[in-house]
Structure 1
């Protein structure tokens, strides 16, 4: 058993595993995480893109590439801690609580980090201005307005969602959510994650109005008219429809004010929607506790070293 403990607590293993984790973590920062598989093949080519997906480098922090070396480091650190404590107890040497606290805090940090990672829950909600959603604790997030700021050359600069936090009908606070400025509501954090444009086509026929969105359809002369998408053109926004009649399908592109077969596209309403990511995770308190213990351990180690020098 003592030979196994000595092997597992080897400094060489610790250095090798830490070096591997550092290199892999640096590489992981160069690869966008959590995107669709098509993103990686389109941006990195089929070969490298498929390799990234196969080794799960697209979700590195949950992959075996990260978790296996981390588990090895945990075992190494635990063995080192046990070997150190047992040796001091056997020799009846005075305990040095500083280094022991450092080891224990790192062990706790790894456990807390893993618990936090796998208890993390994420949901993305798209809101138009005036829309809202309810959190599980009963509070409501309502979008007042959404700004998409761009640089002069057209590149995205910032997305800003100005929201209200409502408790019943009362506004508790207002907040501007930005890409690196999340809103915290209780145990929930709300991030600005994305945006999208949506459209509503308004038809008039025989004095009645009908509205449909992309992906929806309405009956028409024994067939249907389906709203495929809208397109931005130099002349304005155009709606693309598909008409099915007598078993035949025809694609039609219309601007607001145009008609076909006695039906008028009276309006095409295009609006932006803000994509807000709602995140909740457990174990944050354990992470804070482990960091506090780490600081105490470092202070005690430094203090004990000064005592030895005197």
Structure 2
């Protein structure tokens, strides 16, 4: 017995801890702090971005705690799990008492019952019981539910109730929160957020995560058919749009347009218009030094040998506007020993003294560019949980804050007045577990509609 008592005591302590209001408040404050971090600190950038923009110590904290992706971090997942346990324990400990009250039969009708109810009235009718019962049951039944007869020692009695289920409104809210947490945990464990850059005419069947290493296969192919941009009179972008073609493994295809704030979802992946850029489609360069002059044609990321030299050239970067000097190209010159020289040339300023690499002066003879659409791609398997949880939470709030379990007892008894005339006395009592004053006002107005009665 002592061992059993100790185990029971330990279990109660554990249940008290996980079901405490203090723990719930701490977890909610921690989740609020996490939301602030996720809002203030840029999310989804590369680790190089955080290393470049924050101090070494701050970068270490960001990297260790995965603050760059706070909502998918291990500690955020543990906060959600602890809040789930807290809600479950709280609900299970309090639900039996509420269930017992909600399932209890109506209290027995006696004169003492009406003295203990917060609302009680006595009406007198000059008509016999059947006539008064019909009038009163019709009047109350329209507003407060179907009358149910109750056993009484004399006369007749009935009971009305409405919205018994409202006692469980708070548990519906708890259940909705659990569903929302399940959605968050599902998204954290199985969701994926990546980025996809497509030039017009390009196709892809996978997306890469923010670290640039891990990737997610789409299970279908997406092609950028066309990228269009609308501009304001001053030349700034007004709207940009990607016309995409989705092709499934069975050959079925679907065209869709993705614009800013107008995403499109295909097979569980949602495509958002995130950014745009331009890259060289074709390029002709002139390279010259004191001994020779060369002209080469090449494309982006294409390594081309320079005739008559031990060198090859590659375009590795295109900048739309370099410090307000217009577009610029980043170039790498390779020798046959694997050594590299790098340079950055201004396309619209051929006279710029920095337009050179090794001993070559460079000049862009012709440049054609094409648009590249930057698409953010998300897969969120928890979104169904979110919709269901949000809907149930709305119903739970409506039940909790706007409805109450309303109960009415009515007892008809006959007696004779001093003139030996038959009268009917009607005892009316009512209660509600919430919003009593509003309920009693409605009931008073309903009783005033009975002719021939008096309080």
Is TM (by shorter chain) over 0.5? yes
SS at match of 2:243: strand
TM-score (norm 2): 0.55
1:166-177 alignment, distance < 5 Å: 174-177=256-259
Deviation per CA, 1:29-53: give whole Å up to 9, x if none. 0000121222123223333233222
Q: Name the counterpart of 2:20.
A: 10
* Corresponding residue of 1:72: 82
Structure-2 residue corresponding to 1:21: 31
- Alignment partner of 1:35: what SS? coil
SS in 2 for 1:191: strand
Distance 2:401 2:389 in 1: 18
- What is aligned with 1:269? 368
Indicate conservation of the 8 Å contact 1:105/1:294, yes or no. yes
Residues 202, 268 of structure 1: 8 Å contact kept: yes
Instruction: Identify if the C-alpha distance between structure 1 residues 188 and 249 changes in structure 2 by more than 3 Å, giving closer, same or farther.
Output: closer
Partner of 2:226: 144
1:58 to 63, 68, 82: 68
Q: Is the 8 A contact 2:227 2:373 kept in 1?
A: no
Call closer, same or farther: CA 1:292–1:137 in 2, change over 3 Å: same
| Alignment check: 8 A CA contact 2:173 2:392 kept | yes
Q: Residues 153-232 of structure 1: matches in 2 within 5 Å?
A: 160-165=240-245, 174-178=256-260, 180-199=261-280, 200-202=282-284, 211-214=298-301, 216-218=303-305, 220-221=307-308, 223-227=310-314, 228-230=316-318
Question: Conserved in 1, the CA contact under 8 Å of 2:230 and 2:240?
Answer: yes
> How does the TM-score come out when normalised to structure 1?
0.77
Which SS does the other structure have where 2:44 is aligned? coil
1:139–1:248 Cα change, 3 Å: closer
Partners of 2:80 and 2:101 in 1: CA distance:
31
1:97 aligns with 2:168: yes
Gaps of 5+ in 1: none
Structure of greater Rg:
2
Tell me how far 1:101 sits from its aligned partner: 1.5
- For 1:69 and 1:134, locate their aligned partners in 2 and report how far apart those are by CA, in whole Å: 35
Report Cα offsets for 1:49-100 as digits up to 9, x if no partner. Answer: 33222222111112234222222211111100110123445xx322632222
Q: Give per-residue Cα distances to partners, 1:184-215, cap 9 Å, x unaligned.
A: 335331112233442243479xxx98534236
Structure 1 residues 104 and 170 mapped into 2: Cα distance closer, same or farther (>3 Å)? closer
Structure 2 gaps of 5+ residues are 1-10, 104-166, 207-217, 287-294, 407-431, 440-455
Question: Structure 1 CA distance, aligned partners of 2:219 and 2:267?
Answer: 9
1:6–1:83 Cα contact (<8 Å) kept: no
Matched with 2:185 is 114
Q: Give the paired residue count.
A: 303
CA RMSD of aligned residues (A): 4.1
